Amino acid sequence: MIPVTPQPEPTDFGETVRKPGRRWRSKQKLPRDQPPPDPAKLPVYWPRGQKQLWEAYQGVCAYLGMKPNAKAGCDFSERNAPQEG
């Protein structure tokens, strides 16, 4: 396992990922403290910050502490519940 130091979020993360996600959730009238009814139908905003995360963490997956294999189709960004911010 590779040691990982938390990095600041990308500068435009709030505008390109967080705000669109919150707007969508609000329009759907979904409570923030509960999972969505069908995660497969969620809009995908994470890729908008993926390149910046890859650069900030120098290609290391902050969740697994390893370098993902792009050829294996490993996605870099995590899609769990968002942090406040």
- Domain residues of the chain, as ranges? 13-72
Cα separation of 31 and 25, whole Å?
8
The pLDDT tens digits for 20-34 are: 988 998 898 888 788
The pLDDT tens digits of the residues spanning 47-69 come to 888 888 888 888 888 777 777 76
Q: Which amino acid is at 18?
A: R
- Look at the pTM and tell me if it is higher than 0.85: no
Q: What pLDDT, on a 0 to 100 scale, did the predictor assign at position 77? A: 57
**What's the CA gap between 40 and 69, in Å, rounded?**
24
